[in-house]
């Protein structure tokens, strides 16, 4: 590590990752790809857990070109299918005795009203429930050390959509609002992180959250394509002021995953205006995200919806980093 100013933390500050294994969901493009590449360059063995394995293989080849000695693997994962999540977890358990970093990055954004193969609203089911289940199935592979991390990627958009309605996550009793549904799925990422952190034992793995700010990724461009022509034109003009490259957008995720000074239950994002761009720092999420009763309700509901429970060591109130 270079020992540079923490206010200007970059990928050069990532400690050596030799001997460590990182699983990154959605790592074939955007933030996930840049996260995987940076970790591979620092010596980690990385697993690209992706829905499209052909794209995953191309991403793995690109990472290997940048880091010729890197060990990069591709694992199929469809987070919108709990059966696929189980299969993926089983494959990873067969292949690895330990996983040091689980980075829950993949997601869908502003989709029309669709459902997962299990019948849940697509954005919630993919962005939150799939990652909830994957984490539960892999958590006991993380060594009992604060260097072991579950990093879940949320979004500044978690503030959108008003209060989350846990009684109607599938939008059956109200008109579907894809922007609100996305915001609620990203809020769920934070509620999950904070509740998981509270349940993890002292001295064990950390649960941390991060968001990339305004990253110029395929997902953000696809989401903007649903907007009006006027909105797209206006946004194109201000894009350079609000967005940063995927490489820069990955920095909050990388800091959450590797900085030895990070503590469980923290949230990292860009330090610039409206947390849209800039070097990564610890930030605050919305007041709703810190509602412990909401966190516990979502946890119980997620276990019920997924049919998957966390290992017995993750009990309520085992530890708090507050």
d(CA 56, CA 125): 22
Structural domains of the chain, count: 1
The residue annotated as part of the active site, out of 182, 194, 267, 268, is 182
d(CA 273, CA 199): 33
What is the CATH classification number for the domain harbouring 255?
Answer: 3.40.50.720
Query: Is 282 contained in some domain?
Result: yes
Longest CA pairwise span in the chain (Å): 54
Query: Is 2 contained in some domain?
Result: no
| pLDDT score, position 229 | 58
pTM (2 d.p.): 0.89
Q: Which two tokens stand for residue 310?
A: 């966390």
Query: Is 316 contained in some domain?
Result: no
Query: Is 247 contained in some domain?
Result: yes
| pLDDT score, position 270 | 94
Question: 187-246: per-residue pLDDT in tens?
Answer: 999 999 999 999 999 999 999 999 999 755 455 445 544 545 555 454 445 555 567 898
Does the annotation count 182 as an active-site position?
A: yes
Residue 60 domain boundaries: 13-305
| pLDDT score, position 132 | 98
List of E strands, 91-217: 101-104, 149-153, 206-210
d(CA 140, CA 56): 26
Query: Is 259 contained in some domain?
Result: yes
| pLDDT score, position 221 | 43
Query: Is 241 contained in some domain?
Result: yes
Query: Is 288 contained in some domain?
Result: yes
- Report residues of the chain scoring pLDDT below 50: 1-3, 217, 220-221, 224-225, 227, 232, 234-236, 320-322
| pLDDT score, position 321 | 43
- Any residues with CB less than 8 A from the CB of 72 and at least 6 apart, and which? 36, 40, 45, 46, 48, 60, 63, 64
């Amino acid at each position: 590590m270079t020992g540079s100013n923490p206010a200007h933390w970059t990928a050069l500050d990532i400690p050596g990752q030799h001997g460590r294994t990182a699983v990154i969901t959605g790592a074939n493009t955007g933030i996930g790809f840049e996260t995987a590449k940076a970790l591979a360059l620092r010596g980690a063995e990385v697993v690209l857990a992706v829905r499209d394995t052909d794209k995953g293989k191309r991403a793995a080849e690109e990472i290997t070109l940048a880091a010729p000695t890197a060990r990069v693997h591709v694992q199929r994962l469809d987070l919108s299918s709990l059966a696929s999540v189980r299969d993926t977890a089983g494959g990873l358990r067969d292949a690895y005795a330990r996983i040091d970093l689980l980075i829950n990055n993949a997601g869908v954004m502003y989709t029309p009203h669709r459902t997962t193969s299990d019948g849940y609203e697509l954005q919630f089911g993919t962005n939150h429930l799939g990652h909830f289940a994957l984490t539960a199935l892999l958590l006991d592979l993380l060594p009992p050390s604060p260097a072991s991390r579950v990093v879940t990627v949320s979004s500044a958009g978690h503030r959108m959509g008003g209060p989350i309605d846990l009684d109607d996550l599938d939008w059956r009793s109200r008109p579907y609002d894809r922007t609100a549904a996305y915001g609620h799925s990203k809020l769920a990422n934070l509620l999950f992180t904070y509740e998981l952190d509270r349940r993890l034992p002292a001295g064990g793995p950390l649960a941390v959250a991060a968001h990339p700010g305004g990253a110029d990724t395929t997902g953000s461009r696809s989401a903007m394509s649903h907007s009006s022509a006027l909105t797209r034109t206006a946004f194109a003009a201000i894009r350079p002021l609000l967005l940063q490259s995927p490489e820069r957008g990955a920095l909050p995720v990388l800091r959450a995953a590797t900085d030895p000074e990070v503590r469980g239950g923290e949230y990292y994002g860009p330090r610039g205006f409206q947390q849209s761009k800039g070097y990564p720092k610890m930030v605050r999420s919305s007041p709703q995200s810190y509602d412990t009763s909401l966190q516990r309700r979502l946890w119980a509901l997620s276990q019920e919806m997924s049919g998957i429970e966390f290992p017995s060591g993750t009990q309520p109130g085992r530890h708090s980093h507050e």
